[in-house]
């Protein structure tokens, strides 16, 4: 009898799991269930579709329904909410989001890929018309339609990745943008303040007003948003975007008895298997083993999701894949700057009980006499106890991403600062300097360790 594989959630993790399951077991029945009305699309591309860099929202959709049904023989179940998992019966209860009609799907293996949901702060007036989150295609459609009939001023609550990317997208469309951030600097989850300030200053130069160490106390509305109160002052606002953190969507899993970890995500082993037999999980809803600390953290990245989805899907189909610990390497582009990072920030390292030592350098991506040379700033962090690299942050107008990839590889290999400093890099005047900025930063960090009396 053919194996029945049910996958809950059709984001990056779920869709990858479905495709991989089909590759491993050609005879299986694969069901890919999502509450959304569209198949998998790029959430990371939403700001660029809003700004017009991507020509349409539809361009973000990875594959048409025929790709699933005709090409891969995957049963794509759109507009369907998973209501309950019955592990003892190996059954998932689902409901049509339009009609409410319910039915049961029996499974031999189940993959939970429910992703994450935005957190909405407790602010007076937060339920007003004109307050948005940015997580789905429909969120962008609703925001776009609302702004077409309103003014041009938008306030964003939160200066994380989504907040900053949406600020840039709104500026591209000619909107006035204010950001309210509760912490002292932007991008607090991925950059140290001295690196984040480079990005903030570029955003401010582009016209974004950023209020730091500030909280939104109230949203004032009258048939739509009118203002937002910050530090007892009312800022005009025609719309508000809530861009605070997202949290793992684990309600369905938790109610079924799936174990949840201290960070709030689903606990899985290296096969992406939960504590319940034949139930796997992948993506933003799970906790990922950090290659640097050996602890389980929330590493909610598309690259992490697809790799975990591949492992979960393969094993649900009878395979034997494993997922390696992650360094959390990622990148974005903001206001003409490439921003990339891997590993821990100083604040995160301290929260985990470490006492990191760091060094920062600014250097050229080519020899300075070349007319197209650009500056890039690199910051490296290490654990003085074993001298291993634990973090890298790169901000510049070009080539930040591949430098973060190299630093991530060094962390995966658990290289010390000295070992990393000795890596040989290529050179040519129009392409790369003799001493890459990464190597210069490692050299500076090595000298700092020596000055502190730490053997390197």
Residues known to be catalytic: 44
CA–CA dist 54, 74 (Å, integer): 28
Other CB atoms within 10 Å distance of the CB of residue 146 = 17
Other CB atoms within 10 Å distance of the CB of residue 175 = 18
CA 239 to chain centre: 24
Angle between the N-to-C axes of helices 12-24 and 302-316, in degrees from 0 to 180, rounded to the nearest 10: 30
CA–CA dist 58, 325 (Å, integer): 34
CA dist 80 → 100, 103, 163, 437 (Å)? 9, 10, 29, 50
Other CB atoms within 10 Å distance of the CB of residue 166 = 26
> 342, 339, 431, 410: which is closest to 376 by C-alpha?
339
> 407, 406, 411, 405: which is closest to 383 by C-alpha?
411
C-alpha torsion angle, residues 276, 281, 287, 291 (rounded to 10): 110
CA dist 291 → 14, 296, 410, 412, 413 (Å)? 24, 9, 11, 6, 9
> 264, 273, 376, 398: which is closest to 323 by C-alpha?
273
- Identify the bridge partners of residue 30 per DSSP, sorted by sequence position: 5, 74
């Amino acid at each position: 009898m053919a194996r029945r594989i049910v996958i809950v959630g059709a984001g990056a993790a779920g869709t990858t799991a479905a495709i991989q399951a089909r590759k491993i077991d050609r005879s299986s029945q694969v069901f890919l269930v999502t509450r959304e009305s569209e198949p998998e699309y790029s959430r990371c591309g939403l700001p660029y579709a809003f700004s017009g860099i991507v020509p349409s929202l539809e361009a973000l959709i990875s594959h048409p329904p025929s790709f699933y049904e005709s090409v891969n023989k995957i049963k794509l179940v759109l507009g369907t909410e998973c209501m309950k998992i019955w592990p003892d019966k190996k059954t998932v209860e689902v409901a049509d989001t339009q009609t409410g009609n319910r039915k049961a799907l029996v499974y031999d293996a189940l993959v939970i890929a429910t992703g994450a949901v935005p957190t909405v702060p407790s602010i007076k007036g937060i339920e007003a018309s004109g307050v948005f989150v940015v997580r789905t295609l429909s969120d962008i459609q609703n925001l776009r339609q609302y702004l077409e009939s309103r003014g041009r001023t938008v306030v964003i609550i939160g200066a994380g990745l989504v907040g900053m990317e949406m600020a840039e997208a709104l500026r591209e469309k000619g909107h006035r943008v204010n950001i309210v951030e509760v912490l002292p600097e932007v991008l607090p989850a991925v950059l140290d303040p001295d690196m984040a300030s480079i990005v903030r200053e570029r955003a401010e130069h582009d016209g974004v007003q950023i209020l730091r160490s500030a909280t939104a106390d109230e949203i004032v509305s009258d048939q739509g948003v009118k203002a937002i109160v910050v530090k007892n002052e009312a800022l005009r606002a025609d719309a508000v975007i809530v861009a605070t953190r997202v949290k793992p969507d684990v309600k369905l899993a938790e109610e079924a008895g799936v174990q949840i970890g201290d960070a709030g995500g689903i606990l899985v082993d290296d096969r992406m298997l939960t504590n319940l037999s034949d139930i796997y999980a992948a993506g933003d809803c799970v906790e990922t083993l950090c290659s640097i600390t050996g602890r389980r953290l929330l590493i909610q990245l598309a690259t992490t999701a697809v790799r975990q989805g591949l492992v979960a899907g393969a094993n649900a189909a009878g395979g034997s894949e494993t997922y390696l610990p992650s360094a959390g390497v990622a990148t974005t582009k903001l206001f003409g700057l490439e921003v990339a990072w891997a590993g821990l920030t100083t604040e995160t390292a301290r929260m985990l009980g470490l006492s990191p030592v760091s060094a920062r350098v600014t250097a050229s991506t080519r020899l300075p006499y070349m007319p197209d040379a650009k500056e890039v700033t690199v910051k490296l962090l290490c654990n003085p106890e074993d001298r291993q690299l634990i973090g890298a942050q790169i901000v510049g107008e070009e080539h930040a991403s591949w430098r973060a990839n190299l630093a991530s590889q060094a962390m995966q290999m658990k290289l010390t600062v000295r070992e990393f400093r000795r890596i040989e890099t290529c050179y040519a005047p129009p392409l790369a300097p003799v001493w890459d900025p990464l190597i210069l930063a490692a050299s500076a960090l090595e000298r700092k360790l020596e000055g502190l009396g730490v053997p390197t």
